[in-house]
Structures are given as structure tokens and as C-alpha cells.
Amino acid sequence: MKGFLVSGLIAGLYALSASAAAVTRRGIAGGPGELATRDLYNANTNWNRTYAPAEPQQIHISITDNAQYAKVQFATLEEIKTPLFQYWPKGSQRKAVTIENGQNWAFVDNGTAHHTIYLHNLQTRPLKAATIYQYKVGTIDMSGNSTWSQSTFEFHTASKDDTTNFIATADLGLVNAVALPNLINLAKSHEYDFMTLSGDQAYDMADFNGTKGDDYMNMVQDLFANIPFIGGVGNHESAYNFSHWKNRFNNVPYQESNFVNNMQYSFNYKTLHIISFNTEIYFEGSAEEITTALNWFEEDLKQAQKNRKKQPWIIVMSHHPAYCTSYGSPTDMSCLTQTAIVRDGPIGPDGNATGGIEDLMLQYGVDVYLTGHRHNYERTYPVAKGKRTSTSYHNAPSYFEILVGNAGNYELTIPFNSTGPLPDWSASRYDGYGFSVVRATPTELEFTHYQSNLDGTLGSVIDHVVATKDSKFHALYHQVTQQHKTASEKKALKVLPLGNIHQEPCGNKYGDATYASQGRQSLEQRHAKFQTLLSQRRVPRTPWSEADIEWVLGHIAKMDSNNFQSNVGLGEREARIASRIVARRHYGFGHGIGRSGDISEVQPKAAGSSLLYKLTQYMVLDLLRICGLTKAAAAACVILPMATGMALTLSMRTVGSQRPRAKYVLWPRIDQKSCFKSIITAGYVPVVIPNVMEGDMVRTNLAAVQGKVHELGPENIVCIMSTTSCFAPRVPDRIIELAKICQEHDIPHVINNAYGLASQKCVNLVNEACRQGRVDLYIQSTDKNFLVPVGGSVVAGPQNEPIAALSQMYPGRASIAPIMDLFITLLEVGADGFLALLQERRENYAHLCHSLSLVAHNLGCRVLETPVNDVSLAMTLNLPTDTSATSVTFLGSMLFSRSVSGTRVVPPHTTKTISGYSFNGFMSHIDEYTPRLANAPTSYMTAAAAIGVKRQEIDVFVEKLQKLLGKTLSVNLTRGKFVQI
């Protein structure tokens, strides 16, 4: 390409920074000009296997607007007669459509060997919305022989709701592709609609006569063939006039965007308009090419502006950042010179910069600039002209940038500048590996950045931000508040933060204007905080004050009819409350939630109560994800004003309503009476699955479960009810394997996850069970997870339909009290507070384990080895085998009398009858509990490090236990009884 007019100083600095970075930046083998080797991240892919000449390889798929069409592209090593593309709705291969007509061409690499591959690009017919499609590709060679791809791949079309989820990444190499295992898992989950990649792949495709490009395309085949690719070009694709990009990714929707080639294009998906812009023109293009690119860019932005009602969000995706704060070497000026060129354009002979992209992005209201190039993650605040324009992402006055260049490649990651003050626009930085996921609705654009661990597993959330625009949800609140105001209330809007708060100062009439202005500012701040809550519908990061929470409750309560000043109620239920104390306790909420037939339905008399319930549901769903549940596992939830046992009953009735012949519930034994009685109360027949011993652990007997499925018949089984959180030595059920059994036999799966949100192991099990098998509903207690009074539960699931069915199963209205408790707690603790509680619990579990081990060592006992249970611990009691159960449990009574609650002392040989069913060895979850090093059933005691427990409490418990066992009790070996001295 011809060079463009850039001053010699800028060009020289760019060349210097590039060469210096190549020499001094940290890196490993496998970069440009170097052979790639197998590593942890590419070892399980097909990148270096031998392909037959006519065998399809390098398969990848893209889509047009709203997934109306899909385009698949693949390569062969020889010229073929006919390419084949066969696709069908998942599970209905008899409906397969085969496409044979498409584009076919030979791509000759410009290296000395003139390595040639043959590329084939085929498009579907119009696709059905909200459908998962399976597909494979094939060939008919010149001799008439057919060859199909070894694997069948999947993609899905746009769902019928207004939510979009996609993956965002960049800078992915053939070696050290740390995020690749995570990306492949997400691609196959159908949780995400497409994937963006903001340039730089393989490092470099043109190496070794283009064979490195072949290897890379085969390595990412499991990724790019299972999720539509919406990518852009980077500087590492520049060889031979970007020929590898232009040929290998010819199926992106550039033709539909009226651009001459795939270097630039745009794409609509529900509420999103995404533009792939080529910033390489600034560094390897001509002035004419810059003009052509910018003219197309502006025309596309003009059209996008006209379509704002359909696509309110505009995202520009490109390779080079407009803002960044990292450096690859002492002479790396990329975040100074290159970013300036991208923003403002190259410097001409007159010394002025023209032709950048920032002016156009600001002029047409671009919301996000999505980029890469720097091998790290960075987020800005809304920014323009080098200055932060706001710290809020609500109705932001300018765009903000998300830099996601940390997928992993030979250069490792790039550190950040740690000297001097950061620019005011820098909001979040992370120099490890990872990727982002994005959720878009008409009013929200949510970015979450995940860490990718070096062992290939998914790490924790690194960063999270939600951009919002005024929503119908928010407007509804104001509409309702205005509708029911008296004249005096409407007049009061001049000083109350419910209407137009920006009024003239009232100081001349009512006092000093300065004081009035300060008061108005305070009201504005409170109003703005509530606006943000309504718009974002997320748990606020930082806690709210009690005054702010009570202010919100008071104003929401005014939306209920019983609090209208002019309301006259002539019905039998008008939220009349006789006691003022009770009315104050409930902040004036008296109508409850829901309507007859659906607990989630808006109640006409109780717009405020309904709003409070909906808002709490949104925040709880957010908190489930903060606790580590994926969006695929926690797609929806409902809050019930009933504790876990009754929530289990309602859940079983919900799944059972679709299975009229079924009457059995398969239940791996867990010695908690409420779980068992929930089956009886639901009217079903419990089938108790006995557990098995595994070392010290009591575990699920999968063979027994399979046996009962075959014996009773899947159609006669209401569900399998499994358990996660439990008392040691019982450990969580093997819910992943149970989920697979349920999926195989089409049996509903209900999980009792009572206090599992505090356990990372339980959360991971639920995530994987939802991903690998069938989970319909899982239930968690509000008091055990969220530290509120007993009386509520949260039922969640990976699909919306079971949650909606459960809401409609609830009879009549319900109390708002447990929901209000949860609402208040979520605001008062905040997301950061809950994360701190989770971290504190993990640390306290380790402390309890260490402390209890010391006690056990001193007394000749043993802490049982139950590593799968990361909440509860058990310690053997060194007692004679003939010690009576009453004497054993007396220890628990003595602890309770010394103000230690929650521990359990479990004797052997105890039988308990519940609703006519007898359980031997009750409380030990198995008929006879004999741990690994024992010869006979053994007594033990349990203790748990649940959320909210304090280190001091553990220390006090250990001290009292040590004293009780070592000094105040002795064992009468003759009688086999405890004797208090």
C-alpha cells in the first residue's frame, strides 16, 4: 500500500515503538516468524493434524442482520467439484437443507512457496427465529466422492425477546491462547449470540507461506464454527495487503453493508448496531483510503442515527485503541502517538491532525468503542477530547472505551504505567488474561470482564459496568406517581425529588438562597441515586444509608392505593391496618404482592408493592451472578415468601403438573426432615436412594439412581430432587451426573441449594449441572444466604419457562414482608459488602478447619476428610461403641447451655420415623456411618462456617469445646456414659 501523509516524527516514533517492543517486551516462542508448539491451550484442538485433500477444514460461521441468514466458510487443500453445507433444526435432521451453490476460489499465499488453499463460502436460506441449528459441511471431489466434516457444529438464531448476549475479545494467538478453553465452552453453551474479535490473530497468518494461518484456523475451529464470528482486522493481518484477512474471513456481512471488502462493515442485532472500522488505514493506508473509509463510516452512522428506535446502542469495533495507559517497553509510545492518530487523524504537512474517528463518534452519539491491540484489559469513563465527561454511565454524554486485548498470545500481557497520576478518564485496568461478555437490552448495555486462569479454567469477575438509558420501567414509576397525586402533592414536586427537581431557588421567599440550594442538591443526589437504581436494576456496589433506604421505601409505598390521600376503598381487601406499629413496621405496604394466579403479576391497587417486588427480583438475579452463577445457569428467578421446604413443595408441584402419570420423587438421602416432608406435602411418593461411603464422605449412589429410573420408568418419575449444601460428612450430591441422567431420560431435576450460594463449590456444581445436563429449578434460602429473617426463598433456573410456571402455581397473593427485608438488606449491604462476606466466609472456613484440627489432635479425635464440602466440618468423638445415644447428644445440649448453637452431635444406631418412613442412623445420612479409619459406626459432631459467622465466634466455640471435652466431661468407660464432674 502507498503511504499516507504523516509527519516524519510520528512515523518514526511509531516504527521505534514497534521495533523496541518486539525486542524488549516479555514473550515466548511462537510469535511472528516462529514455529508454534503445542501447549495447554491448543493441545485439545485440531490445529496440527493431517487433513485429506478434499476434507473440509478451517470451518467458521458468521451471520447477517439479526441472524436472518448464516454464512459458513471452509477450506480444502485441493480444488473440488462441489462444496456442501447441510443444516437442520437441532434434533430434526430429517428436515435438513443442503446448500451446494456458493463462492469458491483459490487463495494463493504470496510467500515463496505460493501455498494454495481452496476456500468455499455458502449461505443458508432464510432462518427461523429462536432456533438452534446443527450443521456440517462437505465436499464432492473431482472424482465424485463425498467427504463430510468429522464434527457437527451448532449455532442459534435471534431469540424473540429484546436481550442480546455476546462475547468480546481480541489479540488471540496460536500459542498461549489462555482464554481459548473458556471461549470454546461459552461458544457451545448457546448463552451467547455471537462473538466479536477486535483484530490480531495467529501472530501471523502469513508465516511459513501461510501454513501458520491454516494451523490457527484449525485451532479455533471449535470456537468459530460454534458461534457466529463478527471480527475486525488488526496490524498482525497486514501481510500482503491484508490478503489473509480478506480471503479467510470473507463471510462477515460486508456485502450487506455496502463496503467494497471485509475491511469494514456494519451489523444489526436486536438493539445493537455494531460497526467494524479499520484503523489500520492510519498506519498502512493512503490518504485516499482514509477518506473512503471515513466517508463510508459517516454514512453508516447517519443511517444508524435514523434507526435509534430499533437499535438504540451503537458500538464501534476496531483494533487500535483511542485511549490506553499501558506500555510494552520504555520506548513504547503506542498509548500516546497511536491513540492520538486514531482519535484525531494523521498530521498533515501543515502540522494539523485531521481525519480521526473521535469527532464522528461524538457527532453521531456512539455509545462504546470496543478495541484491542494492547494485551490487557482497560475501561474508560465516558470520554471526549482527552477528558472524562462523566463518572456515570447513565445517559452518558459521550462514548466510553472497552479494551479487551488479553485473550492470550506469544507476547504474554502488557503491564500498565505505574508512575505518575492516571488520566481522569481511566476507570478500570487489569493486566492478566481474560475476555468480556456483553448483555444488551433497549435500556442497558452491561459489560462483564472475566479472568481466564493459567490452568485453562474460568476465573473470577474482574470488572463490571452497566451503561443505561432512560427506560420504560423508569417512566412507569413516574407515570404512576403523577397519576395519583393530589393538587397539594403536585405542588410539592417543586421541592420533592419526584418530578422536575431543577426549580428556581426558593431562598428569597423562604430563607437564605444558599441554604436552599444546598438542600436542593441533597434532594437531587437522593433522587439521582434512586434513578440509577431504577435504570440499572442491579445491587449497588456500595451500601446505601438507612436514611436513603427509608426515603425510597416511603416514596414507593405512596404508589399503593391505601396510601392515596383521596382514595376510597370499598373492597374486602384494602390494606387497612389497625395498628400503627404494624403500619410503620411495613412502611405502609399492606396489599402484598401478586394477584390470584400469579405471584409475579402486577397488582392494580399496589403499583408500589409490585415495583418493589420487581426491583428486588432484578437485584437478586444480579446477586446470584455476583455469587458466581453464570447467566446460563441463572436466566431467571422468583422470590417466594416461604422458606425452603415449602418452596421445594411448590417446585415439585410445578414440574409435576406437566407429568400427569408421574408420582415418584427420587431423593438421594439427606437427613433433613423438611426436605423429606416437602415430598410428602406435595402429594408424591418419596423413593429414598441410599448413599454410599467414599473414604470419610457420604456420597450419592449413582448406580442406585439409575436402577430406580429403569425400575420405575422415567415417565412415572416426577423429578430427581438433589442436594448441594449439607452437613459433613455428607457432601453435595453428584448433581452434574444426576443432571445428565435427567437429560438422558427426560426427567425434571430440582436442586435443594439451601445455603449453597455461599459455597463456591456448590455454585460451580450448579453451573456445570446446568451446562452439561438438565436442571429445571434450584432453591435457596434467603436467611441462610442473604442474612435476613426466616421466611423467604429464591427459586432460580436456566430457563424462563419453569420460573414462570412456578409463579403461576402459587395460589393467591403473598406477603411482601420477606421481599422488603431482602430489598432493604441488598441496598444496605451492597454488592461489595456481599463479596466481602463471601471472602470472609472462605477465610473463616479455613480457620475453623485449622482450629478444629488442633482440638482433635489434642483429644485423640480426627477431623473427617470431606473436601467436597467447603462449608461444614465434622470431627469424630473418641467414645466407646456402647455409649448411649442420649449420652452422646448430651454433649450438644451442654454446648447449647454454654451459648454455642448450631453444632450437631450425631450418635450411631439412631432410628427416626418421618411420615411413616424409618431412617436408620438418622442424622448421619446413611444406615451405619463408619469412617475410613474406623472399624465400627462412629459418633461425631459437626460445625459450619456459614456466611456471616465471625472469626471471634469460631475462637469462642473452639475454646469452649476444648474446655468441655478436656476438663468438664469424662467418659465413664464402665457404663459407657458421659458423666458431668
Tell me the domain boundaries of the chain.
164-206+257-470, 619-832, 838-973
* pLDDT the model gives residue 11: 32
CATH code given to domain 838-973: 3.90.1150.10
Q: Average pLDDT for residues 574-584, to the nearest whole number?
A: 86
The answer on pLDDT for 328 being more than 80 is no
Beta bridge partners of 272: 269, 313
* pLDDT the model gives residue 483: 41
* pLDDT the model gives residue 976: 37
pLDDT tens digits for range 341-395 = 999 999 888 888 899 999 999 999 999 999 999 999 999 999 999 999 999 999 9
Other Cβ atoms closer than 10 A to 99? 17
pLDDT tens digits for range 447-496 = 999 999 998 899 888 999 999 987 544 343 444 444 433 333 333 333 33
**Bigger pLDDT: 595 or 657?**
657
Q: Average pLDDT for residues 797-820, to the nearest whole number?
A: 91
* pLDDT the model gives residue 4: 33
Across 263-272, 915-924, 929-938, the highest mean pLDDT is recorded for 263-272
* pLDDT the model gives residue 520: 67
- The region that residue 386 occupies, defined by phi over 0 for left and psi between -120 and 50 for alpha, beta otherwise, is left
Q: Average pLDDT for residues 693-713, to the nearest whole number?
A: 96
Average pLDDT in the chain? 88
* pLDDT the model gives residue 23: 31
Helix, strand, coil tally for the chain in percent (to 5): 35, 25, 40
Exposed e or buried b per residue across 489-501, where buried means at least 16 C-beta atoms within 10 angstroms of its C-beta: beeebeeebbbeb
**Phi and psi at residue 238, to the nearest 5°:** -75, -15
Q: Average pLDDT for residues 550-576, to the nearest whole number?
A: 84
Other Cβ atoms closer than 10 A to 623? 24
The C-alpha atoms of residue 683 and residue 356 are separated, in whole angstroms, by: 70
Whole-Å CA distances, 648 to 29, 215, 313, 781, 794: 55, 51, 41, 11, 11
pLDDT tens digits for range 524-555 = 777 778 888 887 889 998 899 999 999 999 98
Across 419-428, 740-749, 813-822, 886-895, the highest mean pLDDT is recorded for 740-749
* pLDDT the model gives residue 47: 76
Exposed e or buried b per residue across 226-256, where buried means at least 16 C-beta atoms within 10 angstroms of its C-beta: bbbbbbbbbbbbbbbebbbbbbbbbbbbbee
pLDDT band at 757 (very low <50, low <70, confident <90, very high): very high
* pLDDT the model gives residue 883: 66
CB 905 within 8 A of CB 891: yes
CB 720 within 8 A of CB 747: yes
pLDDT tens digits for range 112-168 = 999 999 999 999 999 999 999 999 999 999 999 999 999 999 999 999 889 999 999
The amino acid sitting at 285 is G
pLDDT band at 881 (very low <50, low <70, confident <90, very high): low
pLDDT tens digits for range 220-253 = 999 999 999 999 999 999 999 999 999 999 999 9
What percent of the chain has pLDDT above 70? 90
The C-alpha atoms of residue 920 and residue 132 are separated, in whole angstroms, by: 48
**Bigger pLDDT: 282 or 967?**
282
Lowest mean pLDDT among 16-20, 447-451, 470-474, 942-946: 16-20
pTM as predicted: 0.59
What percent of the chain has pLDDT above 90? 70
**Bigger pLDDT: 566 or 452?**
452
Domain 619-832 identical in fold to domain 838-973: no
* pLDDT the model gives residue 516: 64
The C-alpha atoms of residue 118 and residue 220 are separated, in whole angstroms, by: 18
- The region that residue 799 occupies, defined by phi over 0 for left and psi between -120 and 50 for alpha, beta otherwise, is beta
Q: Average pLDDT for residues 74-95, to the nearest whole number?
A: 96
Q: Average pLDDT for residues 850-868, to the nearest whole number?
A: 91
The C-alpha atoms of residue 379 and residue 386 are separated, in whole angstroms, by: 14
pLDDT band at 514 (very low <50, low <70, confident <90, very high): low
Q: Average pLDDT for residues 684-697, to the nearest whole number?
A: 96
Q: Average pLDDT for residues 65-85, to the nearest whole number?
A: 97
Edge-to-edge order in the sheet of strand 872-876: 872-876, 940-944, 904-906
* pLDDT the model gives residue 16: 29
The answer on pLDDT for 573 being more than 90 is no
pLDDT band at 979 (very low <50, low <70, confident <90, very high): very low
pLDDT tens digits for range 287-326 = 999 999 999 999 999 999 999 999 999 999 999 999 999 9
* pLDDT the model gives residue 517: 64
pLDDT band at 512 (very low <50, low <70, confident <90, very high): low
Q: Which residue has the cell 446413611?
A: 926
- Superfamily holding 164-206+257-470: Metallo-dependent phosphatases (3.60.21.10)
Name which CATH class applies to 619-832: alpha beta
CB 956 within 8 A of CB 964: no
Q: Average pLDDT for residues 745-774, to the nearest whole number?
A: 94
pLDDT band at 854 (very low <50, low <70, confident <90, very high): very high
pLDDT tens digits for range 889-910 = 777 888 888 888 888 899 888 8
pLDDT tens digits for range 391-446 = 999 999 999 999 999 999 999 999 887 776 889 999 999 999 999 999 999 999 99
